[in-house]
Chains A and B, each alone.
Chain A
Amino acid sequence: MDLTLKIVDWIFFLTVIVAFVVSVRRPGNTDLRPIQVYIVVMLIEDILLEFIGILPHIKDNLKYTNIVLNISSLFEISIIFYFLNKIIVKKSFRIAMLIFLVFYLMVCLYVWTGKYKAFFYVVPQLFGLENFLITVACLFYFYEILNSEIIINIRSNSNFTVICGLLFYFSIMTPLSFSYFIWLKSAPELNSVIQIMNMIFYSILFISLIKAYLCPFPEQKH
């Protein structure tokens, strides 16, 4: 199982690198700038995690891994909300997304520095909350396009492709993150399976980002 996890991890790393290269080689689509930043953040996160992983003599390397994961989750939700905020037109949805972001930041602050002091630990429920908020924000976009006169060409609209990928990954990871402790305590052998699933779904998300970059340049806002 460990070997499978390692192979899937490297496949994911390769997908992120390919996404980064494609985003650099096709910079014309300005709508996807936040996604390019997201890819860079994920690439840095992955490099840091690999770096920490190959240096076992570093004291408390698990602590550093957790810090990297916690900080990157903040970047992740901020960048994705900024991207969605740029393409969603309805004001009430944009305000709701801002409230979601502030709420998430406050919860993070409370969990990391308040009662639990969990900045040096991974709190799967926090990731679950992040995934849930991003899923709802993606549903705002779909609600908007399905209830308006906007016509979208699914083959050539890069924003649509990106949000399909985001909805796919974050909606699937929401229940997995919330139930993480159940696996850890009662079926630890499933833990590796969940990690492999996470990597596979993350790779699919990045493949959708690559596909979005390969779309023709946009001609509409949505």
Chain B
Amino acid sequence: MSFPRTEALVVFCFIACFILVMVSFIIAILFRVQKKQKAFNDKLMETKENHLKELFGTKLEVHEKISEDLSRELHDNIGQKPG
């Protein structure tokens, strides 16, 4: 079986295109994996931020409750003293 020169060159061009396609495919995979990782990191950051916000809110609530209790107790104690 013999192949003319031009046919060989056509096959060579086809293979060169195939190489380009495969390299692009690998680069696309790299981008996709990186995008997935970025989305995951963003989600993680968002969760962390929400968690911090909740923690801060709870802390504030507890602080307010303590101040309220303390002021009420102080008020009661002061009210009892002159009597």
Residues of A that sit less than 8 Å from B by CB: 142, 145-146, 151-154, 160, 164, 167-168, 171-172, 175-176, 179, 181-183, 185-187, 190
Contact = CB atoms under 8 A, between A and B. Distances in A.
13 contacts: A152-B33, A152-B37, A153-B37, A154-B30, A154-B33, A154-B37, A168-B26, A172-B18, A176-B15, A183-B8, A186-B2, A186-B7, A187-B8
Interface in B45-79: none
A183 B1 CA distance: 12
Interface of B: 1-5, 7-9, 11-12, 14-15, 18-19, 22-23, 26, 29-30, 32-34, 36-37, 40
A168 B29 contact: no
Contacts of B29: 142, 146, 164
Majority-rule SS of B interface residues = helix
Contact of B5 (A152, A154, A171, A186): A186
Contact of B22 (A151, A153, A171, A187): A171
Given A164-B29, A182-B7, A187-B5, 7 more contacts: A145-B33, A146-B36, A151-B36, A154-B30, A171-B22, A187-B8, A187-B12
A186 B34 CA distance: 44
Nearest to A193: B12
Contacts of B1: 181, 185
Contacts of B7: 182, 186
B19 to A, nearest CB: 5
